[in-house]
Structure 1
Amino acid sequence: MTTTQQDCRALDAQDPLRALRDLFDVPANTIYLDGNSLGAMPRSAPARVAEVVTTEWGRDLIRSWNSAGWFEMPRKVGDLIARLIGAEPGTTIATDSTSVNLFKALSAALRISAETKPGRWRIVSERSNFPTDLYIAEALCKDKGWELVLVEPHEIAEALKDEKLAILMLTHVNYRTGAMHDMAAVTQAAHEAGVLVVWDLAHSAGAVPVDLTGADADFAVGCGYKYLNGGPGAPAFVWVNPKHADRCWQPLAGWWGHDKPFAFTPDYQPAAGIVRYQCGTQPMISLAALECGVQSVLAAEPLGGMAALRRKSLALTDLFIALVEERCAGHGLSLVTPREHTRRGSQVCLSKTEGAYAIVQALIARGVIGDYRAGDGAGHPDILRFGFTPLYVGFEDVWNAVEHLCQVLETGEWQGAAFQRQHAVT
C-alpha cells in the first residue's frame, strides 16, 4: 500500500523523538539529508561559543585554563562521547582530527603487534574505505617498510588467514554505501587470527549503536562534525582499549600527553591511559561547540537513547528506499545500501550511470541537501548519498525529498547547465 504524505505527518505526530528537532537550527524550506557529512548546528552552539570568546577568553584570559576548566575539556568531552560508543569513562579523548588520531592509533597498533607478533608486517583494509584512512596507512607502511593490502568486503575473512597480517583497519559504516560491519563478529575473528583491529567510527558515532567494550575492540577513532554535530572541522576523538593504553607511546609525543606537562621536563614521560593520546594545546572554542553537539545527541537518552535513535533511523531509511523504488522507478536509480537492518548505517546511497552529480545539485537548488560521491572506475559507481539524522529529520521530510527527486528526474531538470558545473566540494 502506498504511503501518503498524510501518513508521514501522522508518523511525525506519533514520534517520541520529535521534540529533539527543536534543539537544532535547520533553515526554513530545507530538508537536510547531509548530516553524515556535516551535522546541523545545535541552537545552543552560538551562545556557548560566544561565551567562550567574550567571557572565558575576552574577560578571563589565561585564567580560564583553570577557572573555566579548559584543561580538562578534551577528557570531559571524550567522556560524553564514550556514552555513545560503548566505552568506559576515561578511555576516550576529544582531540585533533580523525586523520591525526588514526595515525596515532595505527602507529601504536603497529608497535604492539611488532612486539607480540614479530614477523607480521601487513595491514588490511577495504578498497572502498574512506581515502584519508588509506592514505595514512599507506604513509605509515612506506615509512616502516610494511605493506598495505586492499580487499573487497567479502574478502576480509580470507585475508585474516594471512599469517603476515598484523592489523585490520576498517570503517564501521562505509562512507560510500552505508554498509555496516558486525563489529563484534569481525573483531572476534581478527583476534582469533592474532590480528589487532582499528575501527573508524566517523559514520557510526551518534548514528548507530556502538559497543567498543562489548566487542573488545583494540582502537577506535571518529569524527566530531558528522552525527555528533560539532561544527565544521570539529575535533575528532580517539579511544584505546584500556589493556593497550599504557603499552606504548603514541608517536606524536606532545606536551599535552605528558604526565606532568607543567613540570616542563626535557624528557617525555607519557601520562597514564588515554591522556597520552593528546599532542599539542587543544582548541577550546571548537571543543565548546563539539560539546554542544554531543549533548544534542545525549538529549535522546531520556527517550531511549541510541536504541530509540536507531529505530527511527531504520524507519526513515526504510521509508526512503520504499518510496524511491515505488515513485522513481524507470529512471535508472539502483540501491547500493544494504536492505538488511543489521548491515545498514544511517544513510541511503543510490547509484546512477548518468547524471548523479547533476541530480544532487538540482535537489540542493530545491532545498533538499544530500551529496555526491564519484565512482572510481574500478566497479564502484557514482553515488547519490542521503544521510538521515533522526534527531532532526522527520517522516514528512522523507516524503517531500522523494517528491523532489521524482520531479527532478521526470522533468529532466538535472540536465540544466547550472547543475553540470563541478564545485570544489561535492
Structure 2
Amino acid sequence: MTTSPDALFAWTKEQFHLPLGLIYLDGNSLGPLPKATPERVQRMMTDEWGEHLITGWNACGWMGMPSELGDRVGRLIGAERGHTVIGDTLSIKVFQALAAAVSMNPGRKVILSDTGNFPSDLYMAEGLIELLGDEYELRLAEPHRLAEEITEEVAVLLVTEVDYRTGRRHDVAALTERAHEMGALAIWDLAHSAGALPVDVAGGGADFAVGCTYKYLNAGPGAPAFIYVAPRHADHAEPALSGWLGHDTPFAFERSYRPASGIERMRVGTPPVLQMAALDAALDVWDRIDMKTLRRRSLELTGLMIEEVETHCPGLKLATPRENDKRGSQVSFRFEHGYAAMQALIDQGVIGDFRAPDIMRFGITPLYIGEDEIREAVEILARILRGAIWDQPKYQRRKRVT
C-alpha cells in the first residue's frame, strides 16, 4: 500500500526527539536526535564494546561498517554500490579528493572553485597548494561565472552544490560536463545536498564526491564524513593520506604503503565506531524515504517560508533564489542586525543560525518541519522585528558559534 506524503512525514516527525515548544530550523547545521539513536549507541557500548572488547572488530563487524554505511549513504546520492566509504572529517575527505584529482591531471596547475564555497574547502585547497609548490594556483570565480572560467588550465573543479550561506544551487551536472569537455576533473561537495535533495553522482558524471552526515542525515555532532570515487578512478586514484586502514593488508604490518583496491584505499584512520552506530540508527529513517517526494515537500515549505517572511517581515531581504530549481533546502535573508535578531529568535524558541556578514539562515527539513512550524516561526520573527526586540545588549554579544 502506498503511503501518502502527509502520512509519511507525520511518521518521520515521530522518529525524532524535538524539545517541547521549540521550532528547529537549523538541521542544515546539525540534525536533531533520532529517537532510535540512544538505544543503538547504548547497545554498541554495552553489548558490543562491553562484552566483546577488542574482539568486537571481528565479532561485531566494526571494521566493515565504513563500507556498509557508505553504501547506505551512497543510495541517497546516486552512487554505484561499493564506491562510497565513511570515515574521518569532511575537510580530510576534501583534501583526499583534491590531491587525488590533481595527481591525475599532472599537466595542469589550477584548482577552480567559486567565491561562495565553504571556507574550509578553500583552506584545504590552499594547504595542498602549499605542499605542491608555487606553480599551482587556487582560482576563484563568482558563482554565476563558474562555467565560463573552466578553461584548459584547470586541473580540478571543486564545487559545493548548495551554497552554505544563500542556499543557491549550482547545476553540478552541467558544470561537470563542461569540466570534462575541457579535460578537467570534478569534485562535488554534497554537505548541503545529501539528505536534502535528489543527487545523482553516477548519472551526473562526478569524478569524486564528499559530504558530511551530521546535517540532513542526522548522525550527530562530529559524525564522520563520506567520500565517493567514480568506478573509472577507483583503482588508481592516489589517496595522498596513506593511512593504515587504507593499506591493502593492514594487518600484515608491512613497512611500506600499498593502497587497497577500490574505495577502501580512501580509508585513513580507525573508524569512529560509536559515531557510526549513531549514523546506522539515523539511516534507518531514510530507508522509507523517496528523495523526489522529499524534494517536493521541501520546495513547498521553502516557498512558504519566502512568502510568509516577505509578507510579514518587510525589513528582511531574500538572499535565496526564488526559482525552485536554483535553491537547496534552506532559506536565507539579509538583515543588517541579523546576528542580534537571530539571537532574539532563538531566545523565543525558534532556532536558526547566522552567517557573516548579514545572513539569517533557516534550514527547512520536511522530516520534522511542516507548514504550522513555518507560520509560527515567521509570526515570532515578525514580532521581534516590529518591537526591535533584537536591540538589547544581551543579543549583541557574539558567541563562539553563530
Shift of 1:299: 2.9
AA aligned to 1:159 is: E
Tell whether 2:167 aligns with 1:178: yes
Q: How does 1:136-285 map to 2 (within 5 A)?
A: 136-145=124-133, 146-160=136-150, 162-285=151-274
Name the CA distance, whole Å, in 2 between partners of 1:356 and 1:280: 40
Q: What TM-score do the two structures reach when normalised by structure 1?
A: 0.91
Q: Which residue of 1 aligns with 2:88?
A: 96
Cα-Cα RMSD: 1.3
Deviations 1:202-260 (A, max 9, x none): 00000010000000110010011000101000000000001011113211111211111
- Out of 95, 110, 116, the position equivalent to 1:128 is 116
- In structure 1, the partner of 2:41 is 49
Match of 2:366 in 1: 390
Aligned mate of 1:323, from 290, 302, 308: 308
CA shift at 1:273, angstroms? Answer: 0.5
Between stretches 230-239 and 289-298, larger displacement belongs to 289-298
Q: Distance in 2 between matches of 1:194 and 1:383?
A: 36
Q: Secondary structure at the match of 2:228?
A: strand
Q: CA deviation at 1:153?
A: 1.0
Offset of 1:15 from its aligned partner? 5.3
Task: Name 1:79's counterpart in structure 2.
Answer: 71
Instruction: Give SS of 1:27's match.
Output: coil
Structure 2 residue aligned with 1:32? 24
How far apart, in 2, do the equivalents of 1:289 and 1:309 lie?
Answer: 22
Aligned match of 1:378: none
Q: For structure 2, list consecutive stretches of 5 or more residues without a partner in the other structure.
A: none
Distance 2:170 2:8 in 1: 28
Sequence identity, in percent?
51
Matched residue, 1:7: none
**After superposition, what is the alpha-carbon deviation per residue over 1:162-205, rounded to whole angstroms, capped at 9, x for unaligned?**
32111110101010110111121111011111111111000000
Q: Which residue of 1 aligns with 2:378?
A: 402
Query: Is 1:287 equivalent to 2:276 in the alignment?
Result: yes
Larger mean Cα displacement after TM superposition, 76-85 or 150-159: 150-159
- Aligned to 1:88, what secondary structure does the other structure show? coil
In structure 1, how many angstroms separate the alpha carbons of the residues matched to 2:249 and 2:361?
Answer: 46
Name the aligned partner's letter for residue 387 of structure 1.
G
The answer as to whether partners of 2:152 and 2:184 remain within 8 angstroms in 1 is no
Give the length in aligned residue pairs.
397
Write the distance in 2 (CA, Å) between the matches of 1:158 and 1:186: 10
Cα contact 1:297–1:391 (8 A) shared by 2: no
